[in-house]
Amino acid sequence: MEKIVEKWNEEKGYKIQLYGFSPRVVIIGESHHCSSDDVDKQIQLASVLKTDFLLHEFARNYIFDFEQGTLSENPQYPAPKSALNFARTDFDYIPDEELAKFTNWLKVKGFKISLRKYELGHSVFDSGEDSNLGMIIKNRPPSLIRIVGCDVSKAEYNHYEEQNNIYLCTKDCSRDHHMFREKRFAQVIGDCVSQTTKPLIAIVGNYHIKPESFIHKALRRKGLEYLCISQMKE
């Protein structure tokens, strides 16, 4: 796989770090405000690797299933009951004019959607098909059957902030906050690797592939070999 990635990278010259000799996973560290050209390269890589599962931080704990035409919460990682008071009811009762562009766009494409109302206000969903995630969905390669969210739910995230006074925390507390999410990233990567024989791609913020990220420690514990690609310009 690494030879395919090297050839794919010839034009851009992204920084690549290999962890192991036979990687099963490609973790792309993007700028969340990256150019459409960088997103095009992500789609191109999924195409050349014939990836069927793509993980994305922006999809939180939801799964886009293109075979079933559904967007729904990952049953393995539902928002816990302790956090549900930070969420609201399903979005079906919201007037159309209040729906985020992203969910409106998916409804037009025929997706059956079950989203918690609380998720709709998040900026990830606000720019519809022009968002990083939206561009991947709009231009997905034929091999891609699922986009799996690899982050915690919005309810979990807000619950964590409340419990840990995240806006008042020190640098060490901030590191713990990132670790809270990076544990989930690694869990979902491990889950999905076991469900496919094809190379897996995970797209996260570039911060989360730095050497101090908990992702590295967690994947080594799982015995997974992988490579990281930084799309951030030096």
Q: Which of 209, 204, 214, 185 is nearest to 31 (CA)?
A: 204
pLDDT of residue 88: 46
Per domain, the residue ranges of the chain are 2-88+138-230
The better pLDDT of the pair 7, 102 is held by: 7
Tokens of 107: 């409804």
pLDDT of residue 171: 52
Q: With 50 as the cut, is the pLDDT of residue 89 above it? A: no
- For 110-119, letters b (16+ CB in 10 Å) and e give ebebebbebb
pLDDT of residue 162: 73
Indicate left, alpha or beta for 223 from its phi (over 0: left) and psi (-120 to 50: alpha): left
Three-class DSSP category at 139: coil
Whose tokens are 């590295």? That residue is 216
The answer for residues whose C-beta is within 8 angstroms of residue 128's C-beta and 6 or more apart is 100, 101, 102, 104, 105, 134
CA distances to 74, 107, 111, 183 from 66, in Å: 14, 13, 9, 26
pLDDT of residue 178: 85
The mean pLDDT of 18-37, rounded to a whole number, is 89
Query: Which secondary structure element, helix H or strand E, spans residue 26, and what is its range?
Result: strand 25-30
Three-class DSSP category at 230: strand
Average pLDDT for the chain? 82
Model confidence band, residue 169 (pLDDT cutoffs 50, 70, 90): low
pLDDT of residue 121: 46
Model confidence band, residue 83 (pLDDT cutoffs 50, 70, 90): low
| Each residue's pLDDT tens digit, 106-152 | 777 788 877 665 554 454 455 566 778 888 988 999 999 999 999 98
